[in-house]
Every structure is written in C-alpha cells, then in structure tokens.
Structure 1
Amino acid sequence: MKPIRRHWGRPLRQAVMALAVCLLAACGGGGGGDRAAGVEPGPEAPGGQVPLPPEVPEPSPAPYAEALELRAAITGATIPDDGQPVVDFQLANENNIAITDLTGDDVRFIIAKLRTSPLGNFTGNWQSYINRIEQAGSVGPGTEPKLQATTESSGELTNSGDGSYRYRFATDISTLPEDILAQAESEGLDLSVETGLTHRIAIQFGNSGGTANPVYDWVPASGATDGILHRDIAATSNCNRCHDKLALHGSGRVEIEYCVTCHNPGTTDANSGNTVDLKVMAHKIHRGANLPSVQAGGEYVIYGFGSRAHDYSLLHYPQDIRNCTNCHVGTGTIGDRDDLLLTAQGDNWNEYPSQAACGSCHDDLDFSRHAGGQEDDSRCASCHSSTGFVGSIADSHSIPVDEARAQFAAEVISVDGGAPGEAPTINFRVSNPQTGEDYDLLNDPVWTGSGASLNVRVAWDTGDYHNTGNGADDASSVAVSASGSTPNGDGSFRVTLGQPIPDASTAPGIAASGSGVAVVEGRAVIEDDEGESLRVPLDNAHGFFSIDEADGQATARRQSVAIGQCLVCHQSLSLHGDNRSNNIDSCVTCHNPRNTDREVRAIAATPPTDGKAEESLDFKTMIHGIHAAGIRENPLQIVGFRGFTTYVYDEDTVHYPGNIGNCRACHTESGFTLPLASTVLGSTVDTGDLHDDPRDDTVVTPTTAVCSSCHDDSVARAHMTANGGSFDTTQAALDNAEVVEQCSVCHGEGRTADVAEVHPVRELP
C-alpha cells in the first residue's frame, strides 16, 4: 500500500508550534534527583549546601527585520461583546528564537466566517468581515462599484516582550459602516456576525526576510477548535510543486488558507467585473488562452494593485487542464497520486458540482439554458455524479490517452554487437502491464494500423551524444523501423540497425568509442469508446551498451535531470508526433551538442528574426532557453519539423510558474553544480562547411553555453568571456586546453559564488 500524506489540520500544527516557541523562550522544566546515575556530587558550598548549577543565559531576542524565516502560530481568538475580535499569537525566527520587536506596521489581519451551503456541510464559502468598496471606471470594462475583502492593521497591538502578542481589531464587525452594508446587500452578501459558524483569523507579515500566514479556525460561540467544519480544498504544497513558491501581493501572501479569506465569492474586481473568488479565478487563469471566451476573441483580465492589468489571455497551461488531481486530491480521488497532500475537502471537485467552479473553465456555458435551465446548483449532481445521466465529474474529466497509455510498456532487453564496424542487434519487447502479455508487433492492429509507429534508435557515445559518422548531415540518432524486426519466440523481438557503428573507415573518418544507447519509441493506435482512432504515445525505453569499453560494461549517460521532475508541471511530455515520450535519455540522443536546426532554417515557412543561420538544439541550452523566456533579452527561436513552424519562446508564449533560479525544480541534486563532467562537449552554433564532420564546427564552451542560455545579455556574456568562456571556439581547442573556462573557481561547489548559493536553490515539496 502506498503511503498517504494527509493534511492533519491547523490545531495540531499550532499546538506543536506554540510548544516549540515556549520551550525556546526558556520556559521552565523539572525532574527528579540531583544527578545522573554514576555521577559523583561536586564540592559542597559553605554550610554544606550543594551549589546551584551555573545559570544558562536565555537567547537574546531576534531582530524582526533580520529574520530569514518567520515561525508564527495563533494561540487563541475571541469575539468580545464590543465586536472587536482579539487574537493572540507567537512569533519566532528560523532558529525558534523569540522575536520581540514586531510593530503594527509589520503585520496585517483579516477575519472571515465560513458560510454554509445548501449542498452540505463539506461545502460553503468564506466571507470576510473586513471589506472596502472599489469604484469602477478608471480602467477596464467594469461600470459598477464592488465589494472587496481586505485586511486591517490599525488596531491595538500589545507586545508582551517574550515573543507573544495580542491584537485587538479596530473594526467592530457587529456594527459595520452603512456604505459597506448597503453595498453587500446590493450584491446579495450577508456580513452579519454568526458566532455559531466556523470563523478564521489570518495574519500576514511584512518588512522582513521571512513570510508567514498563520490561520486559526474556531467557533466563537463555543470556543471550539476541534470537531468543527473546515474548508480545505487545495494544499499550498501542491501548488508549490509548480509555483516554487506561491508568493503574491508583494510576496507576503503564501498560503492558500490565507488567500481564500479574501478570494471568495464576496470579492469582485470592479474594473473588469470579474469575480476573484479563488475557485473561479484560479481555474480561469490556468486555462488562460484556451478559455472558450478567449478562443472566441475575448480576454481574461484582472486589474490589481494600482489598477494594473494582469492579462491571462495568453497563458498556456503546461499540461492537460482536465487533470484536476494535480491540484485537488482527497481520499476518494487519490488514485496513484501519492506525491500530493490530501486535504479534507480535496474530493469536492468530483462530488459537488457548481456553476461557479464548472463555469470558470467552461465559460461559454449559459446555465439559464443548460439542461432545461439551472437557477442554482441544487440540480447539478442529478446529472453530474456517479449515478447521474452523464456520470461523475471525474469521468467527464478523464484523459483517454493517459488511461490508454497504461496498456503499453516498452523494454530494451539487450544489445548484441555494437563494436566499431558492427551493426548492433537490439532485443526488445512491448507488453501490456495490465495483462502481462506481450504484443505481436508484426500483427497486432495497435501497431500495424494506420497512424501507428514503432522504431528503435541508436546513438553514441554516452559521454555526450554526438552521433558522428551516422551517415547524415545532422547529428540525430540512427533509426530502424520495428516493422522489420524478427520474433525471438518468447514474446520479444530483435532488429538490426541498418548501418554499423562507425569505425573511421567512412566519412568523416572518426570512430565511435565508449558506450552507446538503444531507444524504443513510438505510438500505438487504438479505437476509443466512440469508435474513433486514438493515438497513444509509448513511454520510450532505453538500454545502454558497450562500444569499446575496456571491461565490456556499458557506461550510462550522466543524469542531470529526472523525468519525474519534468512531469510535476507537464504531467506528460509527448513530442515529435507523439513518438518521443517521457524519457530524457531518449530526448538527448538527438538534442545533443552537435545538432542544430540548420537544415530546416533554410526552408522555414516563417523565417526566424534572430539573424542566425542556425540555432543549437542541445538539450542543456534549448530547455534553459525555453523556460527562461521571461528573463532573456533575446527570445529563443527554433525552426521545427520540415520548416513548417518557427517556435518563438518569448514572455508572451512561455510563462514559467516557478522561480527560474531554482535549479532543483528540474535538476538532480548534483545535476546543476560546477564543474561540469569532463565529457561534456561544447555546443555547436555553426556546423561549418562539412556538415557531417564536427571538427570544423564553431562551438560555445560548455559552461558558458549553459549559463548564457538564461543569462544572454551583453554584461553576462562579457563576464563569461572574461573568465575563460568562449562563444567562438572549436572542440579541439577545448580538448587541447587551449581554451579553459574558469567558472568553477568562483561558482564551483563550496566556492564564494557557488551556483547553489547565487541561485535560490531549494528542494520542492
């Protein structure tokens, strides 16, 4: 059974934090006896008394402004008769040392109630008591004033001097201003105090190196914190798997539990007229360019602080929008997602359909006409449920291709031959993990039908792929179709490469050495439930083999990136006609330091505008260049298959959701550190006159190639060249140490500007 990570709730966390802060603030303790067993007593003090142990000084208070991390816990809250809520909280730094100099300028507070819903106790919405009215008209299409939740900081902050504080709200939530109440009434909102409902107080800190958003849920009428209703739909750690980390509104708001106290149905952007209810806004942002309203020529814009427009109409979500469990997961929808944190209402997306949630992605749906007209959410589940007419929401959001992929698994069993001058024979199989049976690759319709494809590719060498001597004018791997394979009699097949591993007897006269790799790639074709053909990507499989290793044992290629880390955001990576899927060791066989887009640039339907004759396809530069679109001065431009498409990776088309400086988001623990492996080649930027011979290539030195793929401005390039890097050299000059990069002197592990230090590298959840 898989381990299940659960979101155990705030009361336990708060109790643990309160205890830690208390202990580290030097709360007293006691015990029996005057010494441990076997320890002799010390000298007696005058009068025969045992001396007191030396006093241990309490740690000095930590300056708030210098804290790198804030550890905050709310320990209690009440709503007194005067209607001004009171909250008690504690604050310490990253070392659990009490912070005693917090001021009212450093902190903000909000209080909200969890309104009930006719759909049941596990539903409902937060409604803030602290609000303002935003007037429309300065920008955007909005015309009506709207209520907006906000925070306050003008109340009375009492400092106890030991890291504990009390804040008394300035707002009397039982007697709100008349204009606020009138606006709320016009929008159908209820701001009355209902002490029998769950309430939440949340805090935001500013003016420090750390951030924290502690929350406290309780029922004011009883004071209860246990056994009460909560609303936890999504966990912050799940968001941070891509967003690394979620930090908004000046980076002070970092927890979903805090976000929802403002971003609820009671808050609207007056300038656009759009609700900023989190379940609506987050869905619409993530669907972005693929929203039906945007596809029809509209836009999705939210006007934020200072009436600045945030246009999400160009945003492209990096995976299938139907993958709801990438954000929301509970015990009923966990499936195989043991990498996510479960929340109490993580299954609500599947169990409680609503116009707000469903209409956020399907924003062309007119509910007044849908299924005979829907006035509210009361009848949604009659159709959208496991017993309903159209089935459950999970069924409606299933991804047929992903489900079908579970029927196919490839394996490279062995490689026979493969020495220089020999054509390797690859033994492989494709099976169905669900049945344990092997596919008959020569007769099964899924592999012989129209649109199916299955190939075996070979590349060399694993020090850094270059494929010199592959018989082509580019540096791609060599392919052979599985349709020409031979059964081995045990369910596996074998196929022999159509040419030998180069031995220097043919142009360009360079023999392969070291180790190579064989890759099985392709796509199956099946018939879906409606009789339509469905193309199913096969997760590529690979196996290494020795070309001329002294001990005959294959050497694997270095692993700088783990495919699982790519799939955190991408869910599935299927490219090049769905043939190349979910296998980094497959990608790098063609996306190697010697390959460029030279051949297709010459025939590009839409020529690039970067002024280059060719662009490197090296994985280590291309992937950085794509993801770093938001910080590059010059967008990466690559011409694709047969020149049909020129891909321009600029900030309008790529919206990296995390911190681009966090190398660990993609890389293995040592996959980004310097120095690079000694086998890493320079990246070709000019293939010279002899396209099959890398010896006349112009290359960029390896570390410079990597760093300049993100840092491409003139100042950064000058820094690199001043420290041994080159944008205009040869591989021979590198091999002969005529050109030597000195990047590791400063940027190596443990050095003054270690890559892990100058980049905000951190482990992801």
Structure 2
Amino acid sequence: MMNAQTTKIALLLAASAVTMALTGCGGSDGNDGNPGEPGGEPAPAIQTLNFTFDKSVVTNGVPSVEFTVTNEDDLPVVGLQKMRFAAAQLIPQGATGAGNASQWQYFGDETCDVAATCPGTFVDKKNGHYSYTFNMNLTANAKITYNDQLAQRVLIRAYNTPLPDATQVPNSNAFVDFTADTGAAPTYSRKIVATESCNTCHQDLGNAHHGGSYNDVNYCATCHTAGKVGVGKEFNVLIHAKHKDLTLGSLESCQSCHAANDAANDAANDAANDAAPDWANWSRIPTAATCGSCHSTVDFAAGKGHSQQLDNSNCIACHNSDWTAELHTVKTVDKKVLINKYGIEASSVVDSATKAATISIQVTDSKGSPVDISALLPQIQRVEIITNVGPNNIALSYFTKDSVIAVKNGVLDSKASIVDGKLVYTTTKPLPFGAVKTDTDTSVTFVNWAMCSLNAQFVACAEPTFDGSDVSKYTSMKADIAFATLSGEKPSTRHVDSVNFSTCANCHGSEWESRYHKGNNSPGFVMSEQLAHSKDATGKPIVGLDGCATCHTPHGTYASGKNKGALEMKLHVVHGEQGVIKECTQCHNDFNLDAFKVKGALATSAGKYTTPITATCTSCHNHNPMKAHSQAVLEGFGAIIDGDYTQANQAAQSETCFYCHKPTPTDHTQVKM
C-alpha cells in the first residue's frame, strides 16, 4: 500500500479517542466527523479489500498479527465476519541439502467465523484495525519443527460474507512475511512469480480455481507444499505440469511467468519488483522436481533420459544460471528472428466476367523490399490460400470455400504460377457474389504460409525430410488478408474494432503462431500487424481476427454446432470452457452492435440455425435456458432458435433485442431505461 494511504489512515485513526460502533466504512453524514470519529458516508459497495500489516510476531510459539483493512477509496472497512488465518515458515535454500531450493512448511490454518466459532482471539477494533492471535502453538506441531530463526508467514483469506449492514465484500487474500521475535522483514524470501503475471491470462487468478477463494499466487505456493498436499501437487511441480502442454505462444519462454520488472525505478515498479524478487530462481536453482515437472519423460533417480542424479547437489555444476536461461529462451528468440525475416503483401482482383478472384502474393524482406518468391521456393513448406465471399456474413461453408495449397515442400501447385516474382492464383470454385454495395459484393482471401527450418535457419524442405506432421521442422510465418469486389466499389471489410488484439497476445504471444492450425492440413499462421487494414483513433494499426472467419463460417467448421461454429460463437465457447472468461472487457474494447445489421443466421446445432444476436448470446449463456427464455420472450421479438437455415436467415434482421438491451463491454446486462 502506498505511503500516502498509510499516512492517511494513520492520521485518521490517531485522532480516535474511543472506538466506534460502525458496521460499514466512514461516518454517517458526508461531513467531517466528530473528534475521534472518521467522516464521510459509508461506502455503498466494497470492490477491493486492501490490507496493511501493522505488527506480526510469534510469542512463545503462538503467532499473532495486527492489520488494517481499507476499501478501494482508502476508507476503513469495519465488521468483517469470516476470515481464515494460516501459518507457515520458510526453509532457506540449501538448508535441507546441497542444491535444494527453499521450501515452505505449512503449519495449519484456523477459520474464524464471528457469528459461530473462532479458534483463536479475533478483535475488530471498529475503526479498520483488526488483530488475530492463533490458538495453535507452532512448537506443538508433530510434523514440522518450528524454528524462530526462519522466515515466518501468516496468510489471510477474507471470505465474501456480507458485513452486518449487508454490504458485500469480495473474497480477498493477503500475507505478511516476518521474523518471529521482532516482526521485521526477513532477510530471505521465496516470491518467484507475481500474481500479475498469472492474471495476464487468467484476468483474476481467484476465478480460476477453488471457487474464487484465492487470488494471490503466494497463497497457492504456500499451501501446495510437501506434507500439505500429495506428491505431484506441490506448487513448483503442479503449475508446470498444468501449463506445459497448453499451445499458447506466451508459454514458450520461461520468462513469460518468471519475469523481472526492468523499467524505470519508480513506485509502481518498486512494487512490481517486490512482488517477485526471486523471479530468477527458475534458472538459478535447478532441481530434479522442478525440471522434471516440464521434462516429464526424464527420471533422474533411475537415470532415464539423464545421467542418474539421486539428489540435487550436482545440478548447478552443469546447469549454471546463464546457460539454463539461454537454453530456455533461445528457442523463442530464434523463432522471432525467423518470423520477422520475411513478410507478404497479398492483393486480389475480381474478373467481372468469370466472377473469379486472382490473388497475388508478394514476399518482402524485413525492410519491406520485394523478394522474388522463386528464390525462396525450395524453402517454402506450404502456402495456403483461402477465399470466401462476404466478410461479415460468410456465404460459403467450410467445405465449399475456395482453397488451395499453392506450394508444398518447395513444389508449386499446377493451379498456381509465379509472375514477376509474385505467387499468383485464380480461384476455381464459383464465388457467389451479390449486389453492388452489399457485403456479398466483396471477396475475402486469407493467406497463411510457412518455411522449412532447422537449427534456427531456413533450409531447403528436402533437407529435414519433412512429412507434414513434425511441426518442429518448419516455422509458421505472418499471415495476410486481401479484399476485392466484383463491382469495383470499395470493399465491405469486416469490423475489427470490437476485440483488443493485445489481450489475445497476452496469452498467445506477441508473435502469435496459431499452432491449432499447424500440422498435416495447414501450415499455421502468425497473427501480426501485417493483417491490419484499419487504424484506431491514434493512427495505430488494428490487428483483427477477420481472416479467421474465412473458415469459421456461419455454417460451422467441420460440423455444425456452437463448439465448431461461427467465429462469433467459437471464441466464446472455447474460452468459456477453458475458464478464461470472467468479463467482456478482457477481450472487448467495444461492442460494434451495428455489425449485426449485416450478419445472417449462425449454425447452433446439427443442421439447425439461430438468428445472429441470440446465437452469439447463447455462446456464453447456456443454450437450453436461453432457448427457454427465447420461446417465452425472444421469439415474440423476432428470434429464431434452432430453425431451418432459410427461415432463420430471412429473420436475421427481425430480432429486436437491442430495443431493450444496450450491452457494453463493462456491463453487457445493461438495458435501455
């Protein structure tokens, strides 16, 4: 907590001559309070609980803490009803054996419910100050030997139990590390990952596990310790095992989570650095347990996949910190170098007589200068060209779209050619163009490609004997998108102003290589500014996901159904099932509701279609309850649920949801009053 805040509280509370019988925050009239009484109205809601620890000691084996709780407006919170207090101590690095990492030992916890039971002594001083003295004596623990020379930790969980005046409070966590006798800060720590690193993807860590109970990674790391949880559930093992198989670009580098804050030395960065001062432990202190949690095929004790190691004493002799860090980051660095070496510029024109689109692809170097694709052809693993019609309401299904692998393992397809150093392809399937100045007057082409690579270099595709399934032998490159119209009018490009692409990159990586599409059937692609065809208010290019819609059509992908359906639905369903979504603002910086005016029906089950607004809503909200709601209400306002395609498509613009609803990213439940 900032010094200004602490000072404010100190001045506020120092004036108190008597305690106050408050059940909310602040005074009662919005004016300065009486002497010894805080002023201001009670906070109508508490969004955040902020903890300041005033004193923490262990006396004759019994821990006690004194702390202050404020809300987001820096006002004291009074009347907390239910809290859990836990105690732990930290064994320093090397104390249990040469090469061993530091290790938390969890003594236990006590839950204090003011309305029921409280094992220890809990005091609410009615002015934002609290204290708790444990009932447990650490010296009496049969499994752990208490040592008053070790760093001690007390953790707090504040439950979301309402205050006596019914004010809601959020689940919150806090902790304090201290020396047992004086309460001073300990001389060593084990704070390896900052909660903010976790929240880059999870948004709110507490929402991911344990029903939203714990939102501080330090609570997780202290509780998931040997003796407290089963083998394999220790934090350093569990967390790697859970993340290592996720196909997220940001997880390819250890430093995505184990990160130092190297920015200017200011208060914010001081706080960030303090959150994870031991961030470099991952490379500095290698152990069999931690390394084996990612390198899961290695059995160190048995000597399988590595020379036999019965303990951690020799690890650092070979795996020094600099070498370990370089080894675990060089792959990401090398790949970025390859990805940025070349780009492409795709363009398209439509023949008004044949209604075919001719796509030209110019390769460029890192400076934007043109490169003759003939010179690179032996190294090009694949070039995939996908063309559809109607960027906002894709006309052709996944199976009827026009697509071609124009290059495969350095060999040019017979339907493609090289003209003036450019790759040229003309669509062969009928493109169902519509009327002038409508969405279907526009064709959209998505180009993705890859180059054969080995040992951080591009190589001829014959050299790695590529078979299509070993994705380590090629590097996906930056994709591009091109629009063209039958009429020659300005294209109807898909809206890209709803999703903040940087939030995608937070999880998928700044060089987002879509490995979901990488393998036998597709070269994969990298999402980058090369795809931008629009700019924001500051002139910065907007990277959109509109190229994805060429395959993720309203008719579905591979099979009908919301899980494999239109892009509007699939992203919600997949991220919802993964527990990523908490609120709309995680991904959306805007809701372009006008986009629905050019959308048609979306496949929501096998052979069945739903009008677009309702279909999009049901991708987050469970389909069956939404269907019941629609039958009772929405169908009277134009919605069609799981109907015939023609019927639902004709009714697409008849939905009147937005007559009442006015969703925004910050409040998607908002209605017009």
Please tell me the TM-score bracket, short chain as reference: 0.7 to 0.9
User: How far, CA to CA, are the matches of 1:210 and 1:712 in structure 2?
Assistant: 25
Alignment of 1:509-524 (within 5 A): 513-524=440-451
User: Which residue number in structure 2 is paired with residue 646 of structure 1?
Assistant: none
TM-score by length of 1: 0.65
Distance 1:361 1:20, change over 3 A: farther
Q: Does the CA-based 8 Å contact 1:523-1:537 persist in structure 2?
A: yes
1:615-644 residue CA offsets vs partner (Å, 9 max, x unmatched)? 963222333344444xxxxxxxxxxxxxxx
User: Which residue number in structure 1 is paired with residue 52 of structure 2?
Assistant: 73
**Post-superposition shift, 1:21?**
4.1
Report SS of the residue matched to 1:99.
coil
User: Which residue number in structure 2 is paired with residue 618 of structure 1?
Assistant: 566
Q: Does the CA-based 8 Å contact 1:59-1:97 persist in structure 2?
A: no
User: Which residue number in structure 2 is paired with residue 200 of structure 1?
Assistant: 153
Distance 1:121 1:657, change over 3 A: farther
1:13-51 residue CA offsets vs partner (Å, 9 max, x unmatched)? 3645433544677969xxxxxxxxxxxxxxxxxxxxxxx
1:49-107 residue CA offsets vs partner (Å, 9 max, x unmatched)? xxxxx85674468599x644322221232334x3333322111234333222234xx12
User: Which residue number in structure 2 is paired with residue 568 of structure 1?
Assistant: 506
Q: Does the CA-based 8 Å contact 1:130-1:150 persist in structure 2?
A: no
Q: Does the CA-based 8 Å contact 1:201-1:215 persist in structure 2?
A: yes
User: Which residue number in structure 2 is paired with residue 465 of structure 1?
Assistant: 394
User: How far, CA to CA, are the matches of 1:706 and 1:676 in structure 2?
Assistant: 12
Distance 1:318 1:706, change over 3 A: same
User: How far, CA to CA, are the matches of 2:599 and 2:346 in structure 1?
Assistant: 28
**Post-superposition shift, 1:205?**
0.7
Q: Are positions 1:19 and 2:7 aligned together? A: yes
Which of 43, 64, 87 is 1:86 aligned to? Answer: 64
Distance 1:375 1:245, change over 3 A: same
Report SS of the residue matched to 1:200.
strand
Report SS of the residue matched to 2:147.
coil
| Total equivalences in the alignment | 582
Distance 1:406 1:392, change over 3 A: same
Q: Does the CA-based 8 Å contact 1:480-1:497 persist in structure 2?
A: no
Q: Does the CA-based 8 Å contact 1:421-1:500 persist in structure 2?
A: no
User: Which residue number in structure 1 is paired with residue 588 of structure 2?
Assistant: 668
Distance 1:265 1:436, change over 3 A: farther
Letter in 2 for 1:755: H
Q: Does the CA-based 8 Å contact 1:420-1:501 persist in structure 2?
A: no
| Structure having the higher Rg | 1
**Post-superposition shift, 1:455?**
3.6
User: Which residue number in structure 1 is paired with residue 189 of structure 2?
Assistant: 230
Cα RMSD after superposing both structures: 4.5
User: Which residue number in structure 1 is paired with residue 21 of structure 2?
Assistant: none
Q: Percentage identity across aligned positions?
A: 21
User: How far, CA to CA, are the matches of 2:173 and 2:4 in structure 1?
Assistant: 16
Distance 1:704 1:436, change over 3 A: closer
Which of 598, 611, 616 is 1:706 aligned to? Answer: 616
Alignment of 1:638-717 (within 5 A): 656-658=578-580, 660-665=581-586, 667-671=587-591, 674=593, 676-684=595-603, 699-717=609-627
Q: Does the CA-based 8 Å contact 2:99-2:313 persist in structure 1?
A: no
User: How far, CA to CA, are the matches of 1:675 and 1:201 in structure 2?
Assistant: 52
User: Which residue number in structure 1 is paired with residue 136 of structure 2?
Assistant: 171
User: How far, CA to CA, are the matches of 1:463 and 1:237 in structure 2?
Assistant: 36
User: How far, CA to CA, are the matches of 2:362 and 2:7 in structure 1?
Assistant: 58
Q: Are positions 1:486 and 2:418 aligned together? A: yes
Distance 1:527 1:717, change over 3 A: same
User: Which residue number in structure 1 is paired with residue 259 of structure 2?
Assistant: 329
User: Which residue number in structure 2 is paired with residue 191 of structure 1?
Assistant: 146
Letter in 1 for 2:401: S
User: Which residue number in structure 1 is paired with residue 373 of structure 2?
Assistant: 441
Distance 1:563 1:122, change over 3 A: farther
1:352-373 residue CA offsets vs partner (Å, 9 max, x unmatched)? 2112211223345333344654
Distance 1:205 1:474, change over 3 A: same
Distance 1:356 1:15, change over 3 A: farther
User: How far, CA to CA, are the matches of 1:525 and 1:442 in structure 2?
Assistant: 15
Report SS of the residue matched to 2:65.
strand
User: Which residue number in structure 2 is paired with residue 356 of structure 1?
Assistant: 289
Q: Are positions 1:279 and 2:236 aligned together? A: yes
User: Which residue number in structure 2 is paired with residue 218 of structure 1?
Assistant: 178
- Structure 2: gaps spanning 5 or more residues: 17-30, 113-117, 163-168, 264-268, 458-462, 467-472, 528-544
Q: Are positions 1:268 and 2:242 aligned together? A: no
Q: Does the CA-based 8 Å contact 1:77-1:88 persist in structure 2?
A: yes
Which of 120, 123, 133 is 1:158 aligned to? Answer: 123
User: How far, CA to CA, are the matches of 2:659 and 2:436 in structure 1?
Assistant: 37
User: How far, CA to CA, are the matches of 2:629 and 2:356 in structure 1?
Assistant: 46
TM-score by length of 2: 0.73
**Post-superposition shift, 1:255?**
0.4
User: Which residue number in structure 2 is paired with residue 378 of structure 1?
Assistant: 313
Q: Does the CA-based 8 Å contact 2:84-2:110 persist in structure 1?
A: no
**Post-superposition shift, 1:213?**
1.7
Letter in 1 for 2:602: S
Structure with the higher fraction of residues in helix conformation: 2
Report SS of the residue matched to 1:705.
helix
Q: Does the CA-based 8 Å contact 1:408-1:538 persist in structure 2?
A: no
- Structure 1: gaps spanning 5 or more residues: 1-12, 29-53, 132-148, 185-189, 291-315, 599-611, 630-655, 689-697, 759-765
